[in-house]
Amino acid sequence: MSLGRVPCILVINGPNLNILSIREPSFYGFKTLEQIIDILINQVKKIGIQLQHFQSNCECKLIETIHSAIDRIDFIIINPAAFAHTSIALRDALIGVHIPFIEVHLSNVYSRESFRHSSYLSDKAEGIICGFGAMGYELALSAAVAYLKNQNN
């Protein structure tokens, strides 16, 4: 974290998360992505950290967003959605920028189809949160803030 500026956390959301509350609410819940982001914005207002967010269904746009985070983002919270299980390019982008990140999934991927049990990102993440629905983002944000505070001590 650079001295002299407010720390910034970037929340990245992958494919189909723009239709939360509509798509399989039994797995993903009834909150919209906008509602989740609003909760996070309110959470960071209380602690003096900036929050940016981005969602795309396009792998290349997610990668470009990660690349553009260099020198301006201190931590990434990413819900790669299905790209967790398919995208080596997303993994390479996250490794390449040297920004710590937490992987979040709304559903418990380990209680679902076997192809969801592996992620190309998990072994490089600071941590993984899955199965807690929208609250997983709040948990990830708390963990990211704690990580950043520990880096400054």
Number of H helices, E strands in the chain: 5, 5
- 42 known member of a binding site: no
Q: How far is CA 44 from CA 99, 123, 132, in A?
A: 19, 27, 20
- 112 known member of a binding site: no
- 141 known member of a binding site: no
Residue with tokens 């960071």: 44
Could you give the CA distance from residue 76 to residue 13 in angstroms, rounded to a whole number? 11
- 92 known member of a binding site: yes
| Catalytic residue, candidates 28, 53, 120, 137 | 28
Within 13 A of 54's CA, how many CA atoms are on the CB side? 22
Residue 124 three-state SS: helix
| Catalytic residue, candidates 53, 67, 98, 105 | 105
Is 105 annotated as catalytic? Answer: yes
- 116 known member of a binding site: yes
- 38 known member of a binding site: no
* Active site residues per annotation: 28, 105
Q: Which residues are annotated as a binding site for substrate?
A: 79, 85, 92, 106-107, 116
